[in-house]
Structure 1
C-alpha cells in the first residue's frame, strides 16, 4: 500500500517536473529565436565587435553584444550544461539502442498542456522545444532503468487500480474578456467581427486584472475546473477553434471567450502506458537525483573551463 501511495506521488511529481520543463525552456526559446532572426550581416557585425544598438536609455546605449554577454553571464553555464546533458543522453541512447515512441512524447505533452494554466507557449517552435526536452527526459529515464524487469502482472495490477491517472478529460484552451455591461460586450464582439485582435482587446478593455495583461489567457480548462464559470465550457463546446462567443452572463458581468484549441479526452489503455508504469516503478527504487552526469565519463565529456565559466 505504501509503495502504491509513493507511486501516485511520483506520478504527480512527474507532472510538476513537466511544468518546470516549460519554464526552463523559456530562456532557450528566447535565445534560439534571437539568433534565428540574425542574417549573415548581423552575425558578421557581432563577431567583428561592431555595435548593433537594441535600446537607448537617455545617453546610454545598449547593444546586442551587451545583451548577449549579460545573458551568457547569467545563464551561460546552466545552458551549456543542459546542452551537454542532452547530447550525452542522445549518444548513450544510440549506444544502447534505447528509444522512446512519439506516442509517449505526445502523451506527456498532452498531460502538460492540460495541467499547466496560462502556458506561455503558443508557437510551433516552442512546442517543438518542449517535446524535445520531454523526449530527452524520457530517454534518460529509459537508460537508467533499461535493465530493470518487472512482471507484467504487477504493472497491470497498478494500472487497474489507478486508471484515473491515465485519463484526460476534454480540455479547452480559452481566453476571456470581462466587461461590466452587455452593451460593452456586444461592442467587443463587433470589433472582433471587424478584425480586431482578441488578445489586444483583452489587454485594453478587460476588467479582469488577473488575466488582462496576458491577453485574457486562461490556459486549458476541463469540467473539473472550478475557478471559472461552467458556462465557459458549455459555450466552448459549441465553438470552432480560433473563434469567439457571443456575450455570456457571469456573476452580474459579461464575458466574451475565445477558443484557441480543443483537445479531445482520452483514456489510455494498459498497452499505451505500461512502459511508463515500469519506468515509474523502477525509478521509485533508485537513490539520488536523475541526472545525465552519471554518463559523462562513459561518453567522455571534457570541459573547456576558460570559455565555459
Structure 2
C-alpha cells in the first residue's frame, strides 16, 4: 500500500511539473514573438501608431502597436511575473552556489517528451527554450529543499520500490496519414517520393479527424501505447528518422507513418536520479508557497506597474 501511495504521488508530481513547464513555454513563445515584432517596428512608428499596419478591416486600421498592446493586456502581467521569478531564481541560485547538472536537465526533458506526447512541446518551440525552463524549475526545487537532509538509505529504498519510474522505453515521435484504400495509400507514398511534404499531405488527405489538422502528429509513442496499432511500433523500429513507411493495413483502412525522431530507452541508475528523488521526497513535506515569490524580499523585487503583485 505504501509503495502504491508513493507511486501515485510521484506521477502526480510529474504531471504537475510537466504542466507548469508547458504553461511557461506557451507564455515564453508569446512573449518571444511579441518582442520580435517590437524589434521589427520602427521606433517612432511604434510610439505614434502611424505606420506598420498589419491589417485593415474596411476603413479601420490595425497596427503593430495595437496588436502589441492587446498582447500585453492578455499576457503581460503573467509573463512579467514569470520573467521576474526566473531572474530571482538565477540570482538566488548564484548566491547560494546552487546548480543543476546538464544530465538532470536532459533527463527531465526526455521524461517530459514521452509523458506529454500531445502538447506544445511538439510544436516549433525550440529545445533550448524548453530546457531553459526545465533548468529554472529544477534550480527552484533545489533552492527550496537545499537545507533538507534525507538519509541515503531512504533514498535507495524509494529507488528500489519505484525503479520503473526511472526507466524510459524506446520512444518514437510519429505522424500518420490514414486513407480508405490501398490504392490511395500507394498514391500518398508516390507523392511523398516525388517530394510532397508529409504534414501538408496529412492535412489534405488523412481521414483521421483527430490528427489531420496537426499534420498527422501523434507525438511520442512507446510499445506500451494502446491508442494506436502495435504495427506502428513494429514498423517504426525499422525506419530511419525523417522517412516514411509503406502502407500498413489497419482496421480495414491503410496508414502511412512518418518517423520524426527515435529516443532510445534507458534505465537510470540510483546515482543518476538520487538528487531527483531527494527533491521529490523533500517537496512532499513542504507547506505554503512553492514558487520563487518566497525569495522576492531577499533579492529585492520592486514592481513599477500598478497591478503587479
Is this a same-fold pair by TM over 0.5? yes
Structure 1 unaligned regions, length at least 5: none
1: CA distance between counterparts of 2:244 and 2:17? 30
Q: TM-score, normalised by structure 1?
A: 0.94
Structure 2 unaligned regions, length at least 5: none
1:132 alignment counterpart: 132
**Aligned 8 A contact 1:105 1:135 in 2:** yes
Change (3 A) 1:105 1:281: same
- The DSSP-based 3-state class of the residue aligned with 2:207 is coil
| CA-to-aligned-CA distance 1:134-179 (integer Å, 9 cap, x gap) | 1111111101111111111110111011100100000000000000
2: CA distance between counterparts of 1:121 and 1:191? 29
- The DSSP-based 3-state class of the residue aligned with 1:112 is helix
| CA-to-aligned-CA distance 1:101-151 (integer Å, 9 cap, x gap) | 011111111011011122333577522222111111111110111111111
Which is further off, 250-259 or 289-298? 289-298
Cα RMSD (Å): 1.9
2: CA distance between counterparts of 1:26 and 1:97? 29
- The DSSP-based 3-state class of the residue aligned with 2:177 is strand
| CA-to-aligned-CA distance 1:1-55 (integer Å, 9 cap, x gap) | 64x5554333212321243212431232133134336656545532443332222
**Aligned 8 A contact 1:118 1:218 in 2:** yes
Change (3 A) 1:143 1:247: same
**Aligned 8 A contact 2:24 2:82 in 1:** no
- The DSSP-based 3-state class of the residue aligned with 1:46 is helix
1:203 alignment counterpart: 203
1: CA distance between counterparts of 2:40 and 2:57? 28
Q: TM-score, normalised by structure 2?
A: 0.94
2: CA distance between counterparts of 1:56 and 1:142? 50
Change (3 A) 1:14 1:56: farther
Count the aligned residue pairs. 308
Change (3 A) 1:279 1:93: same
1:137-286 counterparts in 2 under 5 A?
137-286=137-286
**Aligned 8 A contact 2:85 2:292 in 1:** yes
2:25 alignment counterpart: 25
Which is further off, 8-17 or 268-277? 8-17
1:117 alignment counterpart: 117
